[in-house]
């Protein structure tokens, strides 16, 4: 019977050292899981396992990048939740809204670890002087994964300070922060009027030209932050032509460390 192995250690065990070598179908076969692709009703992927063998079925109508992440998700189930029959909807695979259970979160985390192993991803992410969606798009292309999944992985592995915020027509949808980002520095529900976010939500442009300096108050509340600035880069997500269904992600990093210091002082107030 196959035993649990952490995703990065599993990739290293099989000598995977470059993104081009990441072949999840081959990996699944080595783990005694057969992969097949076919349309599914009511879910996007499923796994049926018994003893040391499993069948993984992926609905690949959502595109190659989505199918790869879904396959990584099901391999995560096979490693973390052995001998269970699980049906995973598109709402829980790669969810940013805590729509799934702890099992689904574990499977997502495992998928990210397989597709973007830390020992490959972190050195590449650190090679950029200033993170933006240009660098994230380059990483997404190299690892053959979606820009959203790559941005989440970047923030999740960032050892310094960054935060990813998603806005819709009705304000903030969700956010993810790097592990050292102060818990007292939470994005405001409504974005500032001068942000690129509003233009991306309600006009035809799909991406801000580049990261730019903006007042920290554009994204965060607090009189103590009035003199501070951030670098922010925004992009539209999804393919909706209707503004009601649009969303925009913005990657925010401090211009200087004083913003973080001021936020950390709040915990002592």
**What is the model's pTM?**
0.88
- Beta carbons within 8 Å of 132's beta carbon, 6+ residues apart: 210, 211, 231, 233, 251
Contact yes or no for 192/219 (Cβ under 8 A) = yes
For residues 90 and 84, what is the distance between their CA atoms, to the nearest angstrom?
Answer: 19
Contact yes or no for 61/40 (Cβ under 8 A) = no
For residues 105 and 103, what is the distance between their CA atoms, to the nearest angstrom?
Answer: 5
Only one residue has tokens 């108050």, namely 217
For residues 79 and 85, what is the distance between their CA atoms, to the nearest angstrom?
Answer: 13
**What is the structure's pLDDT at 98?**
55
The stretch 171-180 carries a mean pLDDT of 94
Convert the pLDDT of each residue in 105-135 to its tens digit: 899 999 999 999 999 999 999 998 888 999 9
The stretch 12-31 carries a mean pLDDT of 95
**What is the structure's pLDDT at 150?**
96
- The confidence band for 256, taking pLDDT boundaries of 50, 70 and 90, is confident
**What is the structure's pLDDT at 32?**
94
∠ at Cα 172 (137, 224), nearest 5°?
100
**What is the structure's pLDDT at 243?**
65
3-state secondary structure of 163: strand
- Which residues on adjacent β-strands are paired with residue 157? none
Convert the pLDDT of each residue in 198-235 to its tens digit: 989 988 777 777 889 999 999 999 888 888 999 999 99
For residues 99 and 90, what is the distance between their CA atoms, to the nearest angstrom?
Answer: 10
- The confidence band for 239, taking pLDDT boundaries of 50, 70 and 90, is low
With a cut of 80, say whether residue 91 has pLDDT above it: no
With a cut of 70, say whether residue 66 has pLDDT above it: yes
* 171-178: long-range contacts, CB 8 A cutoff, minimum separation 24: 173/96, 173/97, 173/247, 174/96, 174/97, 176/96, 176/152
DSSP 77-131: HHHHSTT--EEE-TTTTT-SS--S-HHHHHHHHHHHHHHS-HHHHHHHHHTSSS-
**What is the structure's pLDDT at 1?**
45
- The confidence band for 237, taking pLDDT boundaries of 50, 70 and 90, is confident
Of 225, 207, 206, give the one whose Cα is nearest residue 216: 225
């Amino acid at each position: 019977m196959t035993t649990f192995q952490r995703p990065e250690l599993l990739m290293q065990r099989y000598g995977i050292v470059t993104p081009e070598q990441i072949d999840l179908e081959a990996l699944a076969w080595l783990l005694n899981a057969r992969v097949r692709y076919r349309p599914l009703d009511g879910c996007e992927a499923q796994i049926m396992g018994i003893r040391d063998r499993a069948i993984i079925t992926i609905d690949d109508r959502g595109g190659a990048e989505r199918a790869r992440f879904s396959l990584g998700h099901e391999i995560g189930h096979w490693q973390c939740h052995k001998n269970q029959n699980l049906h995973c909807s598109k709402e829980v695979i790669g969810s940013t809204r805590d729509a799934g259970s702890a099992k689904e979160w574990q499977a997502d985390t495992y998928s990210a670890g397989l597709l973007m192993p830390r020992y490959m991803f972190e050195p590449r992410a650190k090679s950029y002087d200033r993170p933006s969606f240009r660098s994230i798009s380059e990483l997404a292309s190299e690892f053959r994964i979606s820009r959203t999944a790559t941005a989440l992985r970047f923030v999740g592995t960032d050892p310094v300070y960054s935060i990813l915020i998603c806005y819709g027509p009705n304000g903030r949808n969700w956010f993810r922060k790097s592990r050292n980002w102060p818990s007292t520095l939470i994005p405001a529900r409504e974005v500032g009027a001068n942000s690129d976010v509003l233009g991306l939500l309600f006009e035809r442009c799909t991406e801000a030209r580049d990261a730019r300096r903006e007042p920290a108050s554009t994204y965060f509340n607090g009189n103590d932050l009035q003199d501070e600035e951030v670098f922010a880069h925004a992009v539209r997500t999804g393919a909706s032509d209707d503004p009601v269904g649009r969303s925009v992600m913005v990657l925010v990093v401090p211009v200087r460390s004083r913003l973080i210091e001021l936020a950390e002082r709040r915990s002592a107030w």
